[in-house]
């Protein structure tokens, strides 16, 4: 999805695409340089655009309500999946998902947001991953950001049983739907002595 690509670009420190002319004009006005007054047709178009954006905001709020509703409906299924994956036989593998060893590693390697960032040295660590949860920072505002929680089984690499990463985002340009990552917070990994793979 485009948002994930933008988040990845934001983490890499790449520059955002150039602002549209209207946004440039607003930024110039904020700096104290006066932009020429818009012709009447441009003013009229801006008024139409503002009305359109108001409807778009209402639409997005309704979508967010549906997303929250269906996330709640899906939760029991996700819990059932986790229960199946973490069930272990006495002689089964000692990993995060003993019923299907390496489930989350393979899932992440096949996901477009993660496939290019998982390194060879990450693989043995990710074998201990039991579950991943995603939630919105604000259930009423899907554009405010999201949080990922990675839950791990006891492992020889670190003492954490869960690691959280939170992305706070903001709409940078309502005309294009551009999102900016404003802040990224993540837990510190408490590595076992000599086991830091980074």
Residue 30, phi-psi category: left (phi > 0), alpha (psi -120 to 50), beta (remainder): alpha
Position 25 pLDDT exceeds 90: no
pLDDT value, residue 22: 65
The string of pLDDT tens digits covering residues 166-180 is 999 988 887 777 889
Position 11 pLDDT exceeds 70: no
- Rounded CA separation 6/17 (Å): 10
pLDDT value, residue 4: 44
The string of pLDDT tens digits covering residues 109-159 is 999 988 889 999 999 999 999 999 999 888 878 788 999 999 999 999 999
DSSP, res 149:
E
pLDDT value, residue 33: 60
Task: Write out the two tokens for 63.
Answer: 């979508």
| CB of 189 closer than 8 Å to CB of 163 | yes
CA angle, residues 65, 71, 74, in degrees to nearest 5: 145
The string of pLDDT tens digits covering residues 50-108 is 999 999 889 988 998 999 899 999 999 999 999 999 998 777 778 999 999 999 999 99
pLDDT value, residue 188: 96
Task: Write out the two tokens for 114.
Answer: 């993660």
| CB of 163 closer than 8 Å to CB of 186 | yes
């Amino acid at each position: 999805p485009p948002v994930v690509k933008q988040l990845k670009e934001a983490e890499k420190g790449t520059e955002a695409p150039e602002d549209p002319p209207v946004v440039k004009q607003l930024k110039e006005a904020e700096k104290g340089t006066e932009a020429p007054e818009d012709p009447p047709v441009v003013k009229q178009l801006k008024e139409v655009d503002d009305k359109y954006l108001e409807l778009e905001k209402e639409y997005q709020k309704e979508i967010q309500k549906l997303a929250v509703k269906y996330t709640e409906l899906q939760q029991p299924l996700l819990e059932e999946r986790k229960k199946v994956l973490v069930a272990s036989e006495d002689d089964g593998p000692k990993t995060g998902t003993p019923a299907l060893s390496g489930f989350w590693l393979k899932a992440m390697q096949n996901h477009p947001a993660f496939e290019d960032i998982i390194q060879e040295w990450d693989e043995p660590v990710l074998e201990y991953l039991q579950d991943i949860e995603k939630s919105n920072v604000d259930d009423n505002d899907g554009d405010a950001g999201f949080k990922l929680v990675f839950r791990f089984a006891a492992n020889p690499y670190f003492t954490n049983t869960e690691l959280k990463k939170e992305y706070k985002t903001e709409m940078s340009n309502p005309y294009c739907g551009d999102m900016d990552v404003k802040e990224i917070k993540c837990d510190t990994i408490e590595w076992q002595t000599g086991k830091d793979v980074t």
